[in-house]
Amino acid sequence: MAAETPAQNSAETPVVDTAADEADNRETPEAAPGPEAAAAVKATTGRRSARELLEAFEAEQLKAKEEIPEIYVGDTVKVGVRIREGNKERIQPYEGVVIAMRHGGLNATITVRRIFQGIGVERVFMVHSPQVASIKVERRGKVRRAKLFYLRDRVGKATRVKQRFDR
């Protein structure tokens, strides 16, 4: 006898459905249509490494390339920041000069500096964060440094960055 039903012998052995197990163990695209389903099958079977899982997660979290403009150090940008007050949400613009860019991929950050009431204020924004609603380049800057930390020591008109017209 190949397989017994639970009514015939319920106390001795549990009944195993081999057809369902074979479908779960398949990793070919025929088993699950579409790349999302194939990724789900691989994730459930535990055959992906931790690095592959992290890369897949980071790829999901990245914003589309159309949402993020090409940003360079020295550019004047306007960053729309989501502010939550109680149950209301609004977008507050923060405009300033990009003085540093760090990291890459999901962890990419820009440091934006502006003068507020005569005091220099710097904020670090994670480019792919959900708190950043939008980034718009107001004007391109012409600089010859990767980091513009020397602007911290300058006052008044000396903090201006020349405009670049070729980008």
Which tens digit of pLDDT belongs to each residue from 52-109?
Answer: 999 999 899 999 888 899 999 999 999 999 999 999 999 999 999 999 999 988 999 9
**Same domain assignment for residues 112 and 47:** no
Has residue 8 been placed in a domain? no
Nearest alpha-carbon partner for 112 in 66, 63, 58, 161: 161
**Same domain assignment for residues 90 and 155:** yes
pLDDT score of 10: 47
More confident residue, 2 or 141: 141
Tokens representing residue 95 in the block = 């405009």
Contact 125, 109 (CB under 8 A): yes
Has residue 166 been placed in a domain? no
CA-to-CA separations, 97 to 30, 66, 149, 165, in angstroms, rounded: 52, 21, 11, 16
> Alpha-carbon distance 162 to 145, whole Å?
13
Which CATH number covers residue 104?
2.30.30.790
pLDDT score of 139: 96
Q: pLDDT digits over 138-157, tens only?
A: 999 999 999 999 999 999 99
Has residue 154 been placed in a domain? yes
> Alpha-carbon distance 5 to 7, whole Å?
5
**Same domain assignment for residues 97 and 155:** yes
**Same domain assignment for residues 147 and 92:** yes
Instruction: Please report, to the nearest 10 degrees, the dihedral formed by the alpha carbons of residues 13, 15, 20, 25 taken in order.
Output: 0
Contact 132, 80 (CB under 8 A): yes
Tokens representing residue 53 in the block = 């899982």
**Same domain assignment for residues 143 and 103:** yes
Q: Is the entire prediction scored with pTM above 0.75?
A: no
CA-to-CA separations, 33 to 36, 44, 45, 57, in angstroms, rounded: 8, 16, 16, 20
- The range of the structural domain enclosing residue 154 comes to 76-159
Q: What is the mean pLDDT of residues 98-124?
A: 94
**Same domain assignment for residues 98 and 129:** yes
